[in-house]
């Protein structure tokens, strides 16, 4: 098996170009939209349903819902931004540390490099040329250690901001769906029924689309997503009933 590997490198490269692998790599923006809409549909929905169980008027439910959507969007958005920024800072700190190690203890770093490949059953005489190639170019060596030793990849700082805005806007859009009936029906009892119907429908559609993008079975994903919303709102409703005024 090992012998026929590189008889014709050019042919291999050609094959490689033709053969485009269709592994699913979820776009990060889609992931952010999913996080935002999913939480936005569930939590304000459950809060509104819960409050309707405590004999509260539609207008107070609406205020509570909108206040929650605002707080949730800011917390998720700003929180997401700072988390991404802190991840980027973490990368830079580790990069600097690894850089210093390559300069101050190159033999140890080279041995670590070999250890990484040895984990995959590669013998010292087989990985030595690769380790030497990396030592030839410290920039490549550094990148190799960051990815293969630490599993870290460079983050785009603009992504942090984009991610924060995407999550926040998605949360607001998701959150306004269950709240919209409370804007129309002044009696909470009527509004809650309309809210349950449109939100369960929205959760099913959203779960289906989400399943399509994440590579899960769309129907299973639809049921699961609606199930979380149902459980959360049932719990909020029961608790509010217990504590009601």
Q: Among residues 166, 170, 199, 233, which is the contact residue for a second copy, using CB under 8 A?
A: 233
Shortest reach from residue 162's CB to a second copy, in Å: 18
Determine the Cα–Cα distance for residues 205 and 37; give it in Å rounded to an integer: 12
Nearer to a second copy, 59 or 197 (CB): 59
Q: Among residues 27, 103, 137, 205, which is the contact residue for a second copy, using CB under 8 A?
A: 137
Residue 6 interacts with a second copy (CB under 8 A): yes or no:
yes
- The stretch near a second copy (CB under 8 A) out of 82-90, 154-162, 185-193, 197-205 is 82-90
| Number of other CB atoms surrounding residue 239 within 10 Å | 14
Nearer to a second copy, 27 or 132 (CB): 132
Residue 4 interacts with a second copy (CB under 8 A): yes or no:
yes
Beta-carbon contacts of residue 242 (< 8 Å; ≥ 6 apart): none
Q: How far apart are the first and last CA of the chain?
A: 76
Binding mask 195-224 for a second copy (x = CB under 8 A): -------------------xxx-------x
Q: Among residues 32, 36, 141, 199, which is the contact residue for a second copy, using CB under 8 A?
A: 141
Taking CB under 8 A as the criterion, which residues in 90-129 touch a second copy?
A: 90, 93-94, 97, 101, 105-108, 110-112, 114-115, 117, 120-129
Determine the Cα–Cα distance for residues 42 and 55; give it in Å rounded to an integer: 21
Q: Among residues 33, 37, 51, 188, which is the contact residue for a second copy, using CB under 8 A?
A: 51
Determine the Cα–Cα distance for residues 55 and 78; give it in Å rounded to an integer: 34
Determine the Cα–Cα distance for residues 197 and 192; give it in Å rounded to an integer: 9
Angle (deg, nearest 10), helices 188-214 and 28-52: 160
Shortest reach from residue 233's CB to a second copy, in Å: 7
Beta-carbon contacts of residue 18 (< 8 Å; ≥ 6 apart): none
Q: Among residues 33, 37, 56, 203, which is the contact residue for a second copy, using CB under 8 A?
A: 56
Angle (nearest 5°) at CA 33 between 27 and 38: 130
Nearer to a second copy, 43 or 160 (CB): 43
């Amino acid at each position: 098996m090992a012998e026929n590997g590189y008889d014709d490198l050019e042919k291999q490269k050609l094959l490689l170009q033709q053969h485009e692998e269709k592994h699913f790599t979820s776009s990060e923006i889609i992931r952010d939209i999913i996080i935002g809409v999913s939480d936005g549909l569930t939590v304000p929905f459950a809060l509104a349903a819960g409050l309707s169980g405590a004999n509260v008027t539609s207008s107070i439910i609406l205020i509570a819902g909108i206040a929650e959507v605002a707080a949730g969007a800011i917390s998720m958005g700003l929180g997401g931004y700072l988390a991404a920024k802190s991840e980027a800072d973490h990368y830079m700190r580790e990069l600097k540390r690894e850089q210093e190690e390559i300069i101050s203890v190159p033999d140890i770093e080279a041995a670590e490099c070999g250890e990484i490949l040895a984990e995959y059953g590669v013998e010292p005489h087989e990985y030595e040329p690769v380790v030497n190639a990396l030592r030839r170019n410290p920039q490549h060596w550094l990148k190799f250690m960051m990815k293969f030793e630490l599993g870290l990849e460079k983050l785009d700082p603009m992504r942090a901001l984009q991610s924060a805005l995407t999550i926040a806007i998605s949360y607001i859009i998701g959150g306004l769906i269950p709240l919209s009936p409370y804007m129309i029906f002044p009696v909470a009892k009527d509004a809650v029924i309309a809210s349950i119907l449109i939100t369960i429908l929205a959760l099913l559609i959203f779960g289906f689309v989400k399943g399509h993008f994440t590579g899960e079975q769309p129907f299973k994903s639809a049921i699961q997503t609606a199930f979380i919303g149902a459980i959360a709102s049932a719990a909020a409703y029961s608790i509010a009933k217990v504590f009601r005024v």
